[in-house]
A = this chain, B = another copy of it.
Amino acid sequence: MQGAARQSLNGGAERGPAGVSVALDGSSLDGKGPLFGQIKRAVAGQILRGRWQAGERLPNEEQLSSLYGVSRQTVHKAIALLAREGFLVRRRRAGTFVASVRHDRFALPIEDIGDVITRNGGVYEFRILDRKTLRNGEGLRWPDVPDGTPLLSLDCLHLGDGAPIQYERRLVNLDAVPEVVDEPFDSVAPSRWLVDQVPWSSAEHTVKAVNATADLAALLGVEPGTACLSIRRQTVHLNRCITLVHFLSVGDRFSLSGSSITDSATELNL
């Protein structure tokens, strides 16, 4: 730990027995991990405990640095990170403010079905049900891709412990990923293959609930009309559409779940 070197150097704040700095307002650094992290925790703690209320202005970097007995840059790093994580809002010349808590965008991770099944100790398999090449606009249309573009169409079923879990309907842009025509997909699932092949850049998702049609119900082995989770994903790389997928999963065999990924509280061990 860098405590030893620091102790001899800084003399800003009072120090407890274990080299823990105690600021004037009673908040204190816990001595665990990097300094900027301690500052983050200390400041975030003040906010979460309501000591610094939403909308309120924080002491400036200069004051905080002398409050905690560290340099301005260290404070700056901590505060800038908290701002990036949405706890604080900073305005030049005006100061740093506790974010007006409208942190209303929770985030939900969407994982690969194969990963989910194997992680839960299940046996994952998949089957290619249908595979064909076609041109956009002939029979079906992918709106964000020009008509006439050659496409690979894949129908695929994902199974966990032998039971069908998810049906996948996928289009791949052959102009963007020509190599895909040579890939048999006999061991690697299309989603995995694409993730490994194509340098990923961005994706758009839509999630909704639908009733299973007769065809789909037969494939998934459920009654027609059973509620299914529908996930549509379009992946784009350098402004070119790569693939458009539609996942359909039986409602009670598959769900999305997770803590909000911008969960700073977890990160901060509060």
Contact = CB atoms under 8 A, between A and B. Distances in A.
Nearest to A250: B209
A243 B165 CA distance: 31
A182 to B, nearest CB: 18
A232 to B, nearest CB: 8
Nearest to A258: B205
A265 B204 CA distance: 13
B204 A258 contact: yes
Contact of A106 (B110, B237, B251, B257): B110
Interface in A88-109: 101-109
B237 A208 contact: no
Contacts of A48: 199, 201, 237-238
Contacts of A262: 261
A115 interface: yes
B227 A195 contact: no
A109 B206 CA distance: 10
B210 A255 contact: no
A270 interface: yes
Interface in A104-124: 104-112, 115
Interface string A43-72: 000011110001000000000000000000
Given A108-B107, A109-B107, A225-B225, A256 B200 contact: no
A112 B101 CA distance: 13
Contacts of A256: 108, 205-208
7 contacts: A104-B195, A105-B109, A106-B205, A108-B110, A201-B263, A210-B252, A211-B226
